[in-house]
Amino acid sequence: MEPSLLAALRADPELQRAAAEALARDGDRAPLALRKAGVTPDLAAAALTLADLRRHAAAKFGARAERLYFTRAGLEQATRWVVAERRAARFARHATTVTDLCCGLGTEALAFAEAGMAVKAVDMSEETAEYAKANAEAAGVRVEIEVGDALETPIADSAFADPARRSGSTRNFNPADYSPPLDRVLDHMASTRFAALKLGPGISHDWIPEGAEAEWVSVDRDVVEACLWLGEAAEVPRRASLCKAGEWHELTGSGEEKARVGAVAAYLYEPDGAVIRAGLVAELAETLEAHTANETIAYLYSDRLVETPFARAWKVEEVWPLHPKKLKALLAERGIGRLTIKQRGTGIDPAALRKQLKLKGPNEATLVATRVGTDHVAILCREVSAASL
């Protein structure tokens, strides 16, 4: 969006409201409704784009999305508010000022400011910096925003960085292709007393610096990010942080332990993705008195059903060889027509297997394709919770 259009929207809250109402009421005909009201085509398009982005942003920002300003790329990379708020609280317990490098739309800076910190935010893009200024004004907080190079920006007491992981429409999975590159950001932060660096959740453990804390974060079972904590901010080697229904749960450990290996038991547990990515399956297994059936596969088994926020549980009903023809007959005998298929370690395509099974019947179940030792097996089970017993 051109700076002049952003400025025009900031100066006209009534147009913003009209665009949101027109989009909700008229859908594809909303541009015509605004133009009939005398809005120029360019401004109408900008207002409707903002309204659409705010509608999508509600999943990350809740009601506050209605007053913030977004670009499509910026919204995609923006941190969910519940995560940004929690991170800012951790910063505020240890520092009073923070430099937000690569600030983007400035939403993380808002969380720092609302936590009571003095915030300096920097971005290379003059256009993006204008969005950050608009958001600080809309949120009613003070943030010092500058256009500049993150790698040339002096850091005072603490720092946060979220390097861009997109080049145009292409997502960059190699940290060397981030903007700025991950290794250069780490070098710039090396002497910072308290620092954190947000990354994509698929980051390889090979990129974790010695002495850093690596945290993986999930929100309602969706792994949304990884975060490296550096300097005095590093408290433990690995952390899995889960937000479920607005409540936070943490599991910590070395990330190097291995769970013991045993047979399939009465209950199967599937750890949350943040636990798996953090390498904390063994730590979780200990709390559940559980074990794996194959040391390379993250399913856990136990004869005890334990309520835990860190995993989902299934009651094991049958264990069969993973032979599609035999499975088809066995499932037909049980009248199972609705089947959730999960797999780890077998290489099967659940969609292709479903076609082979030709399911019919009124009953519902879950089928887990996995390995027990070297054997490929299919585990028929149903999801349970300790609270339901």
pLDDT in tens, 306-357: 999 999 999 999 999 999 999 999 999 999 999 999 999 999 999 999 999 9
Cα-based angle 151, 154, 157 (whole degrees, multiple of 5): 120
Share of the chain above pLDDT 70, in %: 97
Between CA 159 and CA 44 the distance in angstroms is 39
What integer pLDDT is reported at residue 168 of this predicted model? 59
What integer pLDDT is reported at residue 386 of this predicted model? 62
What integer pLDDT is reported at residue 156 of this predicted model? 81
Instruction: Give the other-Cβ count within 10 Å of 126's Cβ.
Output: 9
Q: Hey, what are 350's tokens?
A: 């659940």
What integer pLDDT is reported at residue 67 of this predicted model? 96
388 pLDDT higher than 90: no
pTM of the model as a whole = 0.93
2 pLDDT higher than 90: no
273 pLDDT higher than 90: yes
Residue type (1 letter), 43 = L
What integer pLDDT is reported at residue 165 of this predicted model? 84
Give phi and psi for 190, each to the nearest 5: -55, -35
Which CATH number describes the domain made up of 267-388? 3.30.2130
**Better-scored residue on pLDDT, 172 or 38:** 38
Give phi and psi for 72, each to the nearest 5: -65, -45
CB 217 within 8 A of CB 187: no
What integer pLDDT is reported at residue 371 of this predicted model? 98
Give the residue-averaged pLDDT of 110-117: 98
What integer pLDDT is reported at residue 173 of this predicted model? 78
Instruction: Name the helix (H) or strand (E) containing 253.
Output: strand 247-253
What integer pLDDT is reported at residue 291 of this predicted model? 98
Question: What residue ranges do the domains of the chain occupy?
Answer: 3-67, 76-235, 267-388
Cβ contacts of 200 within 8 Å, gap of 6 or more: 165, 173, 225, 226
CB 309 within 8 A of CB 286: no
What integer pLDDT is reported at residue 281 of this predicted model? 98
What integer pLDDT is reported at residue 315 of this predicted model? 98
Give the residue-averaged pLDDT of 168-193: 87
For the stretch 211-270, pLDDT in tens is 999 999 999 999 999 999 999 999 999 999 999 999 999 999 999 999 999 999 999 999
For the stretch 193-204, pLDDT in tens is 999 999 999 999
Per the CATH hierarchy, to which homologous superfamily does domain 76-235 belong? Vaccinia Virus protein VP39 (3.40.50.150)
What integer pLDDT is reported at residue 102 of this predicted model? 93
Q: What is the mean pLDDT of the chain?
A: 95
Lowest-pLDDT choice from 2-6, 113-117, 309-313, 385-389: 385-389
What integer pLDDT is reported at residue 170 of this predicted model? 66
For the stretch 118-164, pLDDT in tens is 999 999 999 999 999 999 999 999 999 999 999 999 998 999 999 98
